[in-house]
Amino acid sequence: MFGCIRRLGCLVIILIAGAVWYFFYRPDRGDRASRTEPREALPPLTSGSRPASGPVASTAPRGWEALTTERAERGRVAVESLGQRSGPVFANLSAAEAASYIFLVVAKQLPPSAKNAEAMVSGDRLQVRSDVKLSDFGGAASLGPLASLLADRDSVRLGGTINMIRPGLGEFRLREVKLGKLNVPAPLIPRLTGQIRKGDRVEGTSSDGLPMKFPDYISDVRISNGRITLYKNVQ
């Protein structure tokens, strides 16, 4: 009986060894791997005609980038190229190029004390952050009890979408505001927007929107895949 058990144990070991060889060392395994063709990479979106439906790979930078005059100039050139009769019908800008152009050249809506401004795209939102003085937001009068939890100078992070209201006018609509480590409650955002906004509220803009002037030939602005795409009015 013990001899039978030993023979049965040897058979089980042989079967296990055969299974291991079949799954990991069989001759046609390498052939199958070599026959598997890699997927073709999608081309990046570049200035040209309006893209067709379907996903487009993006080579846009990821993470925070500083707002600079050089990036503002690149943004300006890309936007003005859409105004040319033979120019492209859309143009892609990185978050930093778009934010530099908007906040340093066009709208200039950053708080006066802003330093070390940076931008990035997160989902369908443009994110802008900077170090500012609390007084730029109205201090305790606007922030209420939140003011006591913040330093005299702290970081501010604005997140929102860019909407076209009419030809020549758009807005950066704030959907989220973070002061230091505190997320500002949604009901307080319009009040803070009023502190950032320069001048009276422009007719047609939202209570939580910062107005932005665009050339009349810009018809739409979309945020996705790490880039901000501006479309030309081709009608």
pLDDT digits (tens, 9 = 90+) for 67-119: 999 999 999 999 999 999 888 999 999 999 999 998 888 777 787 888 999 99
State how far the Cα of 89 lies from the Cα of 142, in Å rounded to an integer. Answer: 42
State how far the Cα of 190 lies from the Cα of 209, in Å rounded to an integer. Answer: 8
Q: Quick check: 196 and 157 in contact, CB under 8 A? A: no
State how far the Cα of 23 lies from the Cα of 26, in Å rounded to an integer. Answer: 6
Read off the pTM. Answer: 0.70
- Indicate the burial class of 48 (C-beta count within 10 angstroms; 0-12, 13-18, 19 or more): exposed
**Of residues 37 and 178, more confidently modeled:** 178
pLDDT tier, 62 (very low <50, low <70, confident <90, very high otherwise): low
What's the distance, Cα to Cα, between the start and end of the chain in Å? 93
Q: 3-state class of 135 per DSSP?
A: helix
- Indicate the burial class of 233 (C-beta count within 10 angstroms; 0-12, 13-18, 19 or more): middle
| Beta strand spans in 20-99 (E) | 65-66, 90-94
Average pLDDT over residues 177-206: 90
Going by C-beta distance under 8 Å and a sequence separation of 6 or more, which residues neighbour residue 113?
132, 133, 135, 136, 153
Phi then psi for residue 31, to 5 deg, are -65, -40
**Assigned token pair, 73:** 């100039």
Percent of the chain with pLDDT over 90: 48
Residue with tokens 């009015």: 233
Residues 21-59 pLDDT 10s:
444 445 444 444 444 444 333 334 333 444 433 333 334
What is the reported pLDDT for 93? 96
